[in-house]
Structure 1
Amino acid sequence: MTSIDRRSALVTAAGAGAAVTLGAGVAAADPADRRHRNRWSKERPLRVDIVVFDGVEELDLFGPLEVFGLAAAIGQPIAVRLVTSGLPGTAKLSFGTEMTVPGAWDARSADVIVVPGGAFRRKDKPGIWTEIEKGVLTRELRRAVRPSLTLMGVCTGVVVLHAAGVIGDRPCTTHEGAKKYLRDAGADVRDARVVDDGNLVCAGGISSGIDGALWLVERELGPQAAVTVESVMEFDRRGTVLRT
């Protein structure tokens, strides 16, 4: 019942243009969210690319995919693609899931690029370190950067963004086990589940990719869309969204 009341409060407050403080540290909507909702349409949907590579943590990938895919399914103006920085083909994920990633990737055609993580502690296995060493994904991320593009790092995908040189000393978060690494590398790592620094959004460990994606749906498409997706998923957001 508490969760239902929280969702009702979010929708009611958003409709009234009010700011409210909700339980569990969930960020409330503000009047800017209503302006964002008018940015996208069926003719010009929010284009979200989710990067797939060998060794990706399954939930890092499928959590955001579920959120953005459901938003599209309920009629929101959003288009989601699974992409790869290499040649189209089959990727083998962290726990053995195999999937085919079709089509060539033009990173500059996206409005949001989601970079998941995987295999942070296993440098001898496919994962983020292999991608960083290859240099293709990091190069494409650098090329794609522009003010209108939002980069979203999930878990240790934030390490990939940092290696691409697109974080620097900006506020971010990552998996608890990778925070020291990023702090030592010069990043401004915050202890929040989701950190929103404008065109850089970072989500902490693994399941927080769901929270990060729901936050982006709320920010770009409005609180009603986010609450509907949250309800369909039977998922309660938790932790904090830190807007810098």
Structure 2
Amino acid sequence: MHVQIVLFDGFDPLDAIAPFEVFHAGGMASGGAVTVELVSAEGPRDVVSGTGGLSLRATAALDPTRAGVVLVPGAAGPIGDISEVDNSEDTIPVLLGRTLETSLPALLKEALAQPDVLFATVCGGSLIPAMAGLIEGRHATTHHGGMDLLDATGVHAVPARVVDDGDLVTGAGVTSGLDLGLYLLEREIGPQIAHAVEELFAHERRGVVWRNTGPQPAGF
């Protein structure tokens, strides 16, 4: 399983690095069954995050046709008003909105159309395809501050830490990138590999992974 983690200007470093380390460790534990790289829509470049000017190096261009996982992190910065996407300050809504003016939405649309690509997001990363109209009618989650916007785009917003909607798997707040990565390792590679990585990181996954299966709860 090859994982492409997509960087964009203003991304949140923890959204990207937490799953990167999970998948890298999963690759070591599985004898190379998992590989991971940092990519961008523009190709190899230093990408500046929204956290204190910290930069990470994207080593390749996002290939939306490559089988495996495409993972989109959220943005980091002042929270701001989620409705003020034209604000001149680099708030999280502004940073996410700017991605819609790049080639990223078209690449993500192509990735979502591939039957052998699993699309994943962490935190506000789900708002990028949502605002681009790419996941309308799907079930997804995001940071609690963006749930209303996610719902407003026509996505079924689910207040769970990880939401599995088939070929779309999304994580909620920033640290959910660890849980999402471990869940994808378990789902795609196997529980023993995921458990080994979980032990290595001394981290226990939180909450139930929400799926659109089984009876609906009543009386809540």
TM over 0.5: yes
Q: What does residue 139 of structure 1 align with?
A: 106
Say which SS state the counterpart of residue 99 (structure 2) adopts.
Answer: helix
1:232 paired with 2:215, answer no
Cα displacement string for residues 27-75 of structure 1 (whole angstroms, at most 9, x for unaligned residues): xxxxxxxxxxxxxxxxxxx111000111111110111101001101222
1:109 paired with 2:66, answer yes
What are structure 2's unaligned runs of at least 5 residues?
A: 213-220
Say which SS state the counterpart of residue 161 (structure 1) adopts.
Answer: helix
Contact 2:38 2:57 in 1 (8 A): no
Q: What CA distance in whole angstroms lies between the structure 2 residues aligned with 1:240 and 1:176?
A: 17
Q: What CA distance in whole angstroms lies between the structure 2 residues aligned with 1:102 and 1:158?
A: 23
Q: What CA distance in whole angstroms lies between the structure 1 residues aligned with 2:64 and 2:114?
A: 11
Q: What does residue 56 of structure 1 align with?
A: 11
TM norm structure 2: 0.85
Residue 151 (structure 1) shift = 0.4
Instruction: Judge which range, 106-115 or 199-208, deviates more.
Output: 106-115
What is the aligned residue count? Answer: 198
Contact 1:117 1:127 in 2 (8 A): no
Q: Comparing both structures, which one devotes a greater share of its residues to helix? A: 1
Contact 1:155 1:206 in 2 (8 A): yes
Q: What does residue 24 of structure 2 align with?
A: 69
Residue 84 (structure 1) shift = 0.3
Contact 2:133 2:153 in 1 (8 A): no
Change (3 A) 1:186 1:91: same
Q: What CA distance in whole angstroms lies between the structure 2 residues aligned with 1:170 and 1:205?
A: 19
TM norm structure 1: 0.77
Cα displacement string for residues 49-108 of structure 1 (whole angstroms, at most 9, x for unaligned residues): 000111111110111101001101222501111100013211111212112212333221
Please point out which of 179, 197, 204 is paired with 2:147: 179
Q: What CA distance in whole angstroms lies between the structure 2 residues aligned with 1:199 and 1:190?
A: 16
Identity within the alignment, %: 37
Q: What does residue 118 of structure 1 align with?
A: 75
Say which SS state the counterpart of residue 70 (structure 2) adopts.
Answer: strand
- The structure whose Rg is larger is 1
Change (3 A) 1:164 1:150: farther
What are structure 1's unaligned runs of at least 5 residues?
A: 1-45
Q: What does residue 120 of structure 2 align with?
A: 152
Change (3 A) 1:104 1:183: closer
Q: What CA distance in whole angstroms lies between the structure 2 residues aligned with 1:138 and 1:148?
A: 19
Q: Which protein has greater RCO, CA pairs closer than 8 Å, 6+ apart?
A: 1
Q: What CA distance in whole angstroms lies between the structure 2 residues aligned with 1:141 and 1:164?
A: 9
Please point out which of 37, 47, 51 is paired with 1:81: 37
Q: What CA distance in whole angstroms lies between the structure 1 residues aligned with 2:198 and 2:43?
A: 34
Q: What does residue 218 of structure 2 align with?
A: none
What amino acid maps onto 2:24 in structure 1?
G
Q: What CA distance in whole angstroms lies between the structure 2 residues aligned with 1:185 and 1:102?
A: 32
Cα RMSD after superposing both structures = 1.6
Contact 1:76 1:221 in 2 (8 A): no
Q: What CA distance in whole angstroms lies between the structure 2 residues aligned with 1:142 and 1:91?
A: 22
Change (3 A) 1:175 1:191: same
